[in-house]
């Protein structure tokens, strides 16, 4: 965001590399954040004084003019007739409750079909994945969408390899992301691909998005998922105790005693309530703790973090990170540490 004491800086593109045109499709009932999230990420390049670091943003709809979003706010758009398909570098199709009516807009769907083979890169945010599915762009590819709609996408399009936990997926030149805020992660990854890690991280910090998440990271924390499943909060006190004793003996017998159950009853009840075994639950909590330590500039090295989080050694922690987050502790720290 621009500083309070200065007007927003705009790049002087004369004599510089031509901007990459990023076109974002709008339609009645589109989710506002699906558009504004990626758009704000791309717009932040305006603040960076690099000759090649720039996108030209276009918001397009069938007829142009004001388009109402899902929250009632209007977006001013240009008509698709004013942009030739070959002019588009990156096409982004957002989601929203209006996505199901979009399929009946034959003019817009035909235009999207014409753009798909010509654009260097095509992408969807949230339910926008269904538009790519309807056009066949996701056939035989991996894809992500909002976790609530992953079964519907997988059932309706068996040829698509739906990744239900991924924040975003890049399969060749086709990108897709999970819901709402995941579009920010998608756009940051695109900037990293185009302009490098340093610029992407700079923009993440400008937007106070300190945790620039990799695509393979889960859409939500394993621990939060367990808490959502344990609707009665039966094991909330136990989880709080585990967090305070991560480096201690957290075998099933110990946890069962703390919960006031026999080991067998505890193991069965815990799995039923949280969807995880007790060992998996402990590991997930240790991963969560290690993540926070790795993000901190005051934490020690990976070996020390592994000790503090109760893993015992860095190799056990590395395997746990790969299972839960899809990245190693070292890579996690290089991406997310707050300097």
CB 226 within 8 A of CB 287: no
Best CA proximity match to 287, nearest among 233, 249, 325: 325
Q: Classify domain 20-206 by CATH architecture.
A: 3-Layer(aba) Sandwich (3.40)
Q: What is the DSSP string of 107-172?
A: HHHHHHHHHTTTSSEEEEEGGGHHHHHHHTTTTTSEE---GGGHHHHHHH-TTSEE-TTBSEEEET
CB 58 within 8 A of CB 78: yes
* Cβ-based neighbours of 161, under 8 Å, separated by 6 or more: 141, 142, 143
What are the sequence ranges of the domains in the chain? 20-206, 222-336
Per residue of the chain (339 residues), give pLDDT as tens. Answer: 444 443 333 334 334 456 789 999 999 999 999 999 999 999 888 777 665 567 889 999 999 999 999 999 999 999 999 999 999 999 999 999 999 999 999 999 999 999 999 999 999 999 999 999 999 999 999 999 998 899 999 999 999 999 887 888 999 999 999 987 889 989 998 998 898 877 887 888 788 764 455 555 555 455 555 555 555 567 888 888 998 899 999 999 999 999 999 999 999 999 888 888 999 999 989 998 898 888 776 678 999 999 999 999 999 999 999 888 778 999 888 776 655
The CATH number of 222-336, from 3.40.50.1820, 1.10.10.60, 1.10.20.60, 3.40.50.300, is 1.10.10.60
Look up the pTM and report it: 0.66
């Amino acid at each position: 965001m621009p500083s309070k004491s200065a007007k927003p800086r705009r790049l002087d593109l004369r004599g510089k590399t031509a901007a990459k045109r990023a076109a974002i499709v709008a339609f009645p009932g589109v989710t506002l954040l699906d558009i504004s999230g990626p758009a704000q990420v791309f717009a932040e390049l305006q603040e960076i004084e690099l000759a090649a670091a720039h996108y030209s943003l276009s918001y397009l709809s069938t007829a142009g003019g004001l388009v109402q979003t899902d929250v009632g706010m209007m977006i001013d758009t240009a008509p698709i007739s004013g942009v030739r398909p070959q002019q588009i570098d990156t096409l982004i199709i957002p989601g929203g409750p209006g996505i199901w009516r979009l399929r009946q807009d034959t003019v817009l769907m035909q235009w999207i079909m014409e753009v798909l083979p010509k654009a260097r890169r095509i992408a969807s945010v949230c339910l926008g994945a269904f538009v790519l599915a309807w056009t066949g762009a996701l056939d035989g590819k991996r894809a992500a969408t909002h976790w609530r709609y992953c079964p519907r996408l997988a059932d309706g399009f068996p040829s698509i390899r739906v990744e239900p936990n991924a924040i975003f997926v890049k399969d060749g030149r086709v990108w897709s992301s999970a819901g709402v805020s995941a579009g920010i992660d998608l756009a940051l990854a695109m900037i990293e691909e185009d302009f490098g890690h340093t610029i992407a991280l700079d923009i993440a910090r400008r937007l106070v998005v300190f945790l620039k998440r990799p695509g393979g990271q889960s859409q939500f924390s394993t621990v939060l998922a367990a808490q959502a499943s344990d609707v009665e909060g039966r094991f909330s006190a136990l989880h709080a105790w585990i967090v305070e004793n991560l480096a201690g003996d957290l075998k099933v017998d110990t946890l069962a005693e703390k919960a006031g159950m026999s080991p067998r009853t505890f193991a069965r009840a815990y799995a039923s309530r949280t969807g995880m075994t007790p060992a998996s639950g402990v590991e997930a909590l240790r991963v969560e703790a290690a993540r926070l330590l790795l993000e901190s500039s005051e934490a020690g090295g990976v070996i020390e973090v592994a000790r503090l989080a109760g893993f015992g050694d860095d190799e056990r922690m590395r395997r746990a990170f790969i299972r839960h987050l899809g990245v190693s502790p070292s890579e996690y720290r290089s991406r997310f540490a707050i300097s």
